[in-house]
Amino acid sequence: MAYRHVVGPRTWAFADLATLMAKATPPRSGDRLAGIAAESAEESWAARWCLAEVTLKEILARPLIPYEADAVTRLILDTHDAAGFAEIGHLTVGDFREFLLTASPETLARIAPAVTPEMAAAVSKIMRNQDLILVARKCRVVTKFRNTIGLPGTLAVRLQPNHPTDDPAGITAAVLDGLSYGCGDAVIGINPASDSVQALGDLLHLLDALIQRHAIPTQACVLTHVTTTLEAMERGLPVDLVFQSIAGTEAANASFGVTLDLLKEAHEAMLSLKRGSLGDNGMYFETGQGSCLSADAHHGIDQQTLEARAYAVARPFRPLLVNTVVGFIGPEYLYDGKEIIRAGLEDHFCGKLMGVPLGVDVCYTNHAEADQDDMDTLLTLLGAAGCTYIMGVPGADDVMLNYQSTAFHDSLYLREVLGLKRAPEFEAWLHAIGLTDGAGTLLTGAENRLLADAPGLAA
């Protein structure tokens, strides 16, 4: 069915819902690369006017990829909360925006299972940045493994101690550095250079020993392919969180070597280990706009809608953490600071609206038109939006993955400016070992007990 919108003497027509949503998307290079972006500014706003008139019921009734053709579509429709949908199904996308702006946190939590990724994406396209921040801030998504992530007024940090050759001493040094800045409550998570199970085992033992030695209320993860982690669990290695990169279509997930059944198998294996002391949210997923197009698996759908579909893949596994790696993929998908900032806010909003614990890797590559000032802007906006967690990378320079993320210091900045606390158990631990005062502020000149590890490293 075609959609139409009249502007003065001109009638804009859109062949179907996928076309309408693509044209209504705020401009970005990836949709242009795919050849589906609006061709003029007026067309883009005509599409937004038109999309605002579509009801949520109609979006539910017109899957962008057919049920028979795609496992992610089947997952979305088979797990849809029809009862909760009764409250919102009659709304148009335009009315839904106003509903969200006025909704209480309790209402937003109640409707989350009824919100499909297509609905979240559609409403985000007609929202300004401030709308995305305001609504996301009201969404509460709390998860637990060895600490409590996502409480109002908190911000967690993934400590990312990567090393170009997985050198154990170098990784330990970076972990000690990050902990000393009060980072690591979300997870201590290494992207390994090697993908062998042997190397994975060495790193898992290293992190497990470090967490136990210092009794740190946090969890570890080595971010390798889920099949490798499954093998590690079978071998009895100490796996806390199970990681996988995911995307919004069956074909894109296949290009990552992942199926929903494989994720289910890994989820069950993680649960059987019972390594979480406070809760069993033990999955960790990463996503990012552009991955489906990059895998030639986008079905003519815009990259932001496909990204929201990735959160639908994550949702049934009750993950501890999900983060978009927003500027990592490069300028052919998000060209500059403006596009990266917009995408980061959209991704965070869509994830939270769907009930997923969304964090953001605030990042960019050197061939994008972006710099630290853009990252400071996005970081601050995400802090205001109640982002679940950000990354902590030494000096913001990831020497293994060759991109720039956020530094340990950046979380200190955000805490000071916005009054954000760490996960409470981790906050208490930092105070107990004498690194912070009662308010969570780092003490200057305090004795750093963590450095008891250091002599062993130098030997």
Partner 1 sequence: MSDQAEIWARLARLTPARIGLGRAGSGQTTRSVLGFGLAHAQARDAVHTPMDADAVRAGIEALGLTVRAAASRAEDRATYLRRPDLGRSLAPESRDALAAAAGEPCDLALVVADGLSARAIHENAVPVLEAFRPHAEKAGWRLAPVVVAGQARVALGDAVGEALRARAVAVLIGERPGLSSPDSLGIYLTFGPRPGRSDAERNCISNVRAAGLAPDAAAFKLAWLIGQALSRGLTGVHLKDESDRALEAPDLPAALVQG
Residues that bind partner 1 (CB under 8 A): 29, 32-33, 161-164, 167, 169-174, 176-177, 181, 330-332, 335, 365-367, 371-372, 393-397, 399, 402-404, 407, 409, 412-413, 415-416, 442, 445, 448, 451, 454, 457-458
CA distance 392 to 346: 22
Binding residue per annotation — 286? yes
Binding residue per annotation — 196? no
Pair 440, 427: CB distance under 8 Å: yes
CA distance 50 to 56: 13
N residues, the chain:
459
Q: Hey, is 2 helix, strand or coil?
A: coil
We find the least distance from the C-beta atom of residue 95 to partner 1, in angstroms, to be 36
We find the least distance from the C-beta atom of residue 390 to partner 1, in angstroms, to be 14
Pair 219, 156: CB distance under 8 Å: no
Binding residue per annotation — 405? no
Of the pair 55, 228, the CB lying nearest partner 1 is at 228
Q: Hey, is 421 helix, strand or coil?
A: strand
Could you tell me how far CA 272 lies from the centroid of its own chain?
Answer: 25
Burial class (CB in 10 A: 0-12, 13-18, 19+), 366: exposed
CA distance 310 to 330: 19
CA distance 186 to 322: 11
Of the pair 171, 188, the CB lying nearest partner 1 is at 171
Strands, DSSP E only, in 225-328?
242-245, 283-287, 321-325
We find the least distance from the C-beta atom of residue 139 to partner 1, in angstroms, to be 27
Of the pair 116, 154, the CB lying nearest partner 1 is at 154
Of the pair 234, 416, the CB lying nearest partner 1 is at 416
We find the least distance from the C-beta atom of residue 333 to partner 1, in angstroms, to be 10
We find the least distance from the C-beta atom of residue 387 to partner 1, in angstroms, to be 17
CA distance 174 to 148: 24
We find the least distance from the C-beta atom of residue 291 to partner 1, in angstroms, to be 14
Of the pair 55, 365, the CB lying nearest partner 1 is at 365
CA distance 300 to 342: 21
We find the least distance from the C-beta atom of residue 334 to partner 1, in angstroms, to be 11
Binding residue per annotation — 129? no
**Rounded to 5 degrees, what are φ and ψ at 174?**
-70, -35
CA distance 202 to 74: 39
Of the pair 9, 455, the CB lying nearest partner 1 is at 455
Pair 362, 376: CB distance under 8 Å: no
Of the pair 171, 314, the CB lying nearest partner 1 is at 171
The neighbouring-strand residues paired with 4 are 13
We find the least distance from the C-beta atom of residue 451 to partner 1, in angstroms, to be 5
Of the pair 170, 316, the CB lying nearest partner 1 is at 170
Binding residues for substrate: 158-160, 191, 286, 361
Binding residues: 158-160, 191-192, 244, 286, 294, 361, 400
Binding residues for adenosylcob(III)alamin: 192, 244, 294, 400
